[in-house]
Structure 1
Amino acid sequence: MKKQMLLCALIILAFNCAEEKKETSMTPKYVEELHSNAKPNEAVIKHLDLDIVVDFENAIIDGTATYKIENNNASEIVLDTKFLNIISTEADGKPAAFKLGTFDKQLGQALRIPISEETKQIAIHYKTTNKTEALQWLSPQQTADKTHPFLFTQGQAILTRTWIPIQDSPQIRITYNAKVVVPKELMAVMSAENPKEKTADGVYNFKMKQPISPYLIALAVGDLEYKPVSNRTGVYAEKSMVDKAQAEFSDMEKMVVAAENLYGAYDWDQFDVIVLPPSFPFGGMENPRLTFATPTVIAGDKSLTSLIAHELAHSWSGNLVTNATWDDFWLNEGFTVYFEIRIMEALYGKDRANMIALIGRQDLEEEVEGFKDEPDMTKLKLDLSDKNPDDGMNSIAYDKGYLFLRTLEDTVGREKFDAFLKNYFKTNAFSTVTTEGFVEYLNSNLLEPNTITFNVDEWIYQPGIPDNQSIIVSNKFENAEKTLQSFLDTKSVDVSKTKDWTTQEWVHFIRNFPETITTDDLTRLDNAFNFTNSTNSHIAMVWYEQAINHDYHGNSVDQKIEDFLIRVGRRWYVSTLFKAFKKADKVDEALAIYKKSRPNYHSVTAYTIDELLGYDGK
């Protein structure tokens, strides 16, 4: 008996120790969240059943969001809403008298629903309104095929609350099911298990079994077709785009395999991409199982598909291990840029990977200069008090974050760094991480065991770029610079030297035009390479920027710039060109174009350009 008791005691002790070992600073905890009204430590949502009708005629979504919840003896549960019409609420199937808080232009309104300590479920019947920021309703004329209307959502950072009443904080993870009713000639897809064909009645049912943050809940509705790339990858697009998309993204399966070889199994079952109309405000959005992508990445030669590698990498950094708050956004994007470049190196070689990294390094230099009057915005760990978290979504998080990780890799060695990252993703899968938690994990699992001293605090908590940064070099970029200098010296163009150039080489070539370049020089280059009429959106964007900077008006470039800004809603491209207009003291010219283009932009892009140009709607 004593031996049995001793054995039981040892088993209990071992179990308790194991449980204690699991509890680290990385274990998900609900920290103070500046950008949500929710109080998840009191009552938190765990699963969503969404039942909605998509009404194109009235441009609204009407339905019910039902949540399974956990509560800690709470008397109410608080959700986030913004520009929603809340019709009624229930707690465990019984009517509950809700209250809406004071409206805040960033956060919207708190939705307070009374509950008891036994409450396990709440339901909200609601409708969207014409102010809903996450939704973009497109007329047939704004689509590729110009036959049927289109709808897509964009939830990052805090816009999901504008189309679903929800606890809209990245540290809250939920599973969801959805029933979505759309016009029968259209298809609905979500960040979930998706159909491959249209249903006869326009009713679609979705399931997301892995817990995700609210900003990753996404919906698109349009006249879509699906084409597989492999048994776990494929593309959705309108009919006129789907074959082009399938060909452009034909390396998707290779990318997934390369990613898995680096940092472990892909945990989301399916990796598909939907090509949206050109008003989509980002290059891509990493919605789980279904990346939303801009058509501007379809260049015909796969030269811009690093974006697909980037969104795939988010399946580990961002979707699997998520920033706990938007102040920690660099944990999503810095890691993802690092992972993206490693995927590109594995598939296409170090030269191409370094060119992509160097373009990012140039973007970072420009961003740091742009924040010279706000140096705190160049820290990796931000303080976004009283700011829209969208303000922190810039090159600092992406490219300074990448440079920090690349410098760490160079310091500790790739083999050790890869082992560290693979374990980081595995240990913290389906959880959220603060910057402070990551720093502790980094010290405990990489730096201290290898007796390495590294200026982590300077990189993360101080402005600017530390002196010990890794230096990225590219022989191809050096050759592009020599080719440019030769042209400037001789005024002659040898087209044969550039016939095999990649997009990255062209971008570097154009970006490096000196301030003294003349309009005659630009005319010669444009006549030789037809930059003004480029079908590659990245090359066109940097060329148009230089045309604005240097007052070049040849080959109808002014009309091309206007057409580009009206057609394309990708915020990076649009803001780059409007910034150039502003820098060149051509704000009136910019506003004239913007008044035409703004109706085609998603609210995310419009918000940025409104601020940039001081546009007040008049």
Structure 2
Amino acid sequence: MRSPMRSTAAVLAILLSTTACATMDAQTPAAAQAERLVAPILTTPDAVDSATFAQPQVARVTHVDLDLALDFERKRVAGTATLDILAREDAAQIVLDSNGLVIDRVTDGQGRALPFEVGPRVDGKGEPVTVSLRTDDGQARQIVIHYAANPQADALQWLASEQTAGGEHPFLFSQGQAILNRSWIPTQDSPGIRQTWRARITAPEPLDVVMSGVAQGDPETLGNDENGQGRRAFTFVMDKPVPPYLIAIAAGDIDFRAIGPRTGVWAEPDMLDRAHHEVADTEDMVEEAEKLYGPYRWGRYDMIVLPPAFPYGGMENPVMTFLTPTFIAGDRSLTGLVAHELAHSWSGNLVTNAVWGDGWLNEGVTSYFENRIVEEIYGETRARQEAALDYMAILETLDEVGRDAPGTALHHPEGTDSAGSAIVYNKGAAFLRTLESKVGRERFDAWLRQWFDNHAFQPATSNMIYEDMRTNLARNAAEAERLMLREWIFEPGLPANVAKPDPAAFAAVDSASAAYAASGTIPAAQTWRGWTSAERQRFLRQVPRDRTAQQLAALDRQLGLAATGNNEELFLWLDLALANRYAPAVPQAESFLAEVGRAKFVRPLFGTLAEEGDWGAAIAKRIYAETRPGYHAVTRGSVDKVLGWEE
């Protein structure tokens, strides 16, 4: 609905509501300017976020206004964060999240000092910052925090010029999910506390800055700083409430190239041609996504291809998806990644899990949506094959952790960790694919579209989608039981009604895999080149794990595995080779681990080395000692655990 002017009491009612509708009409900018949209706070027990210090039912942040300077010499972000506050009339203070922030002072909107206290650090969570809201004339509705982020802020990755493609200028990017943004932005860092935001960022010339908000005109020239270096100011606005983890920044020597009327890509100049070619289908993807599940509500959909230190495949930051260069294969065979991040514009960004234990509402729904986009753009065969690979990953995880392991349920209550991405992503997608097969695509699509429409710009929980399915998808209670909704969401393992992939999807590949396992017959090079990337990955995943050096050399010679430009396939080859202590692969693995920071590849390769006794442990420690400083905190944290690394 459109957002009329409301009294403080009326807005406070929304603050405490668990059911209030807070949608925004993307075509009414005047209404958005008249009053920033306030998304509801969910107060049911399953929506209470233990990962934040905030007490949003008492006082919450509704808008963040950043005025920050980037200092590449000192690896420092510093300036002010002005927070708009919505609070109960009796609220004396507001609690914010921090992780290593250096706070100089806090004032109200008139510049009057406000007492504040930084509490003790909690491992993995940071420190609470409690700010008094009491002023001489009542209660502060706006607070201004003067601060600097620590140079080692977990969300920020500062790259030296030699770590970039161009080699001439430094680079900065952020990664906020899940709770890392509190290391550079003082706010209430919880997915259930949605906030609008604005930012003015100054950076040294000739660097450009992009953010996950809409750029406001051309950058402003400021003149030279104290070091004699010219600086420019960039301004961005996000007028729709988003979870704080979606506030993102990147700065470096980057250029832009349009794809369509509302899509384009940023990248370093040396990378731009390849990046643009790889994502050329993006405008078509947006159009097909809209046909499936309703209008794209964010205006533009741009992307930036970051340096390879980026720890994830992609990050769905609104209006500016962050992408790893490792998806660039030259033939668009890995562009399901782009479809995935685009789909987040509905599932995750538009409707967000209120707590991280319901992450499948973000990633599982998105993975299903991704596959539907792939089907429309690249055809049913590729979509079926990629879905089959995902199903294979679910089975591998269940075999590894046990089919009754609590972490294999989609919903993870307090104290229960997920068994991994194959559950959050793939099992979530399999759930929706099963529902589609049972009720029919037309009815399923109508239900999912109304879910997005009715919960737009709001947080959600597993209980909410469960009740919505019972009410708006199932025709009656009996059908709801047959669909096994509760089993899928709240119980471990795979329910008996799971829709299994078409066995014909990989018929030719599975036949070749069986022949290789039985007699060592390697597919012909021409056959290999004619397969899709999904087919090649399927074959490599089915190669028997115990191979001799001669067998590995024959595979590489026949299939050109070490020379592939497809990083998903190269990773599978290196993992297989290292698991068999294949010495010729070690230099390539060392080079790969030095160049790529994507945790999906880096963590398992170090893990494989660590499992290979003294031989592998020595190699892993030698490589990691050199590569660790260049990894993002996300990647470092995961590898540290694998290797038992201590600084």
Q: Same fold (TM over 0.5)?
A: yes
Residue of structure 2 aligned with 1:147, choices 154, 164, 168: 168
Query: Amino acid of the residue matched to residue 592 of structure 2?
Result: F
Tell whether the 8 Å contact from 2:351 to 2:455 is kept in structure 1 after alignment: yes
> Which segment is superposed worse, 190-199 or 267-276?
190-199
> Which segment is superposed worse, 83-92 or 298-307?
83-92
Residue of structure 1 aligned with 2:94, choices 77, 82, 89: 77
Separation in 1, partners of 2:561, 2:201: 44
How many angstroms does 1:447 deviate by? 1.4
Separation in 2, partners of 1:436, 1:545: 39
- What TM-score do the two structures reach when normalised by structure 1? 0.92
Q: Kindly report which structure 2 residues correspond to 1:133-532, keeping only aligned pairs within 5 A, or say none.
A: 133-194=154-215, 200=221, 201-372=231-402, 375-385=405-415, 394-449=421-476, 451-452=478-479, 453=481, 454-473=483-502, 475-488=504-517, 489=519, 491=521, 493-532=523-562
Separation in 2, partners of 1:84, 1:290: 26
Separation in 1, partners of 2:252, 2:274: 18
Tell me the secondary structure at the aligned position of residue 331 of structure 2: coil
How many angstroms does 1:196 deviate by? 8.8
Query: Amino acid of the residue matched to residue 99 of structure 1?
Result: E
- State whether structure 2 residue 114 is matched by structure 1 residue 87: no
Post-superposition CA distance 1:90-120 (Å, at most 9, x none): 1232101110111111111110000136321
Post-superposition CA distance 1:140-195 (Å, at most 9, x none): 01111111000001000000100011100001111111100000210010001137
Separation in 2, partners of 1:64, 1:392: 39
In structure 2, the CA distance between the partners of 1:132 and 1:54, relative to structure 1 (3 Å rule), is same
Separation in 2, partners of 1:514, 1:298: 28
Tell me the secondary structure at the aligned position of residue 498 of structure 1: helix
Residue of structure 2 aligned with 1:68, choices 84, 87, 91: 84
Tell me the secondary structure at the aligned position of residue 499 of structure 1: helix
Separation in 2, partners of 1:243, 1:249: 10
Tell me the secondary structure at the aligned position of residue 204 of structure 2: coil
Query: Amino acid of the residue matched to residue 69 of structure 2?
Result: V
Separation in 2, partners of 1:483, 1:108: 52
Tell me the secondary structure at the aligned position of residue 236 of structure 1: strand
Post-superposition CA distance 1:344-364 (Å, at most 9, x none): 011111110111112212222
In structure 2, the CA distance between the partners of 1:196 and 1:550, relative to structure 1 (3 Å rule), is farther
How many angstroms does 1:384 deviate by? 4.5
> Which segment is superposed worse, 475-484 or 143-152?
475-484
Tell whether the 8 Å contact from 1:380 to 1:396 is kept in structure 2 after alignment: yes
Separation in 1, partners of 2:422, 2:577: 23
Tell whether the 8 Å contact from 2:384 to 2:505 is kept in structure 1 after alignment: no
**Runs of 5+ consecutive residues of structure 2 not aligned to the other structure:** 1-16, 23-38, 222-230
* Equivalent residue, structure 2, for 1:5: none
- State whether structure 2 residue 50 is matched by structure 1 residue 29: no
Separation in 1, partners of 2:64, 2:360: 28
Query: Amino acid of the residue matched to residue 469 of structure 1?
Result: V
How many angstroms does 1:371 deviate by? 3.0
Residue of structure 2 aligned with 1:128, choices 138, 146, 149: 149
In structure 2, the CA distance between the partners of 1:421 and 1:373, relative to structure 1 (3 Å rule), is closer
> Which segment is superposed worse, 315-324 or 476-485?
476-485
Tell me the secondary structure at the aligned position of residue 131 of structure 2: strand
Tell me the secondary structure at the aligned position of residue 425 of structure 2: helix
In structure 2, the CA distance between the partners of 1:442 and 1:386, relative to structure 1 (3 Å rule), is closer
In structure 2, the CA distance between the partners of 1:92 and 1:227, relative to structure 1 (3 Å rule), is same
Post-superposition CA distance 1:210-250 (Å, at most 9, x none): 11110000000000100000010000000001111111100
Q: Kindly report which structure 2 residues correspond to 1:36-47, keeping only aligned pairs within 5 A, or say none.
A: 36-47=52-63
Residue of structure 2 aligned with 1:579, choices 603, 607, 631: 607
* Equivalent residue, structure 1, for 2:228: none
Residue of structure 2 aligned with 1:567, choices 590, 595, 614: 595
Separation in 1, partners of 2:80, 2:312: 29
How many angstroms does 1:505 deviate by? 1.0
- What TM-score do the two structures reach when normalised by structure 2? 0.88
Tell me the secondary structure at the aligned position of residue 123 of structure 1: strand
Tell me the secondary structure at the aligned position of residue 466 of structure 2: helix
* Equivalent residue, structure 2, for 1:54: 70
Separation in 2, partners of 1:385, 1:95: 39
Q: Kindly report which structure 2 residues correspond to 1:10-29, keeping only aligned pairs within 5 A, or say none.
A: 23=20, 28-29=41-42
Separation in 2, partners of 1:27, 1:197: 34
Tell whether the 8 Å contact from 1:355 to 1:474 is kept in structure 2 after alignment: no
Tell whether the 8 Å contact from 1:196 to 1:226 is kept in structure 2 after alignment: no
Separation in 1, partners of 2:581, 2:19: 61
In structure 2, the CA distance between the partners of 1:407 and 1:216, relative to structure 1 (3 Å rule), is same
- State whether structure 2 residue 569 is matched by structure 1 residue 539: yes
Aligned residue pair count: 593
Query: Amino acid of the residue matched to residue 464 of structure 1?
Result: G
Tell me the secondary structure at the aligned position of residue 570 of structure 2: helix
Tell me the secondary structure at the aligned position of residue 274 of structure 1: strand
Query: Amino acid of the residue matched to residue 460 of structure 1?
Result: I
Tell whether the 8 Å contact from 2:196 to 2:241 is kept in structure 1 after alignment: yes
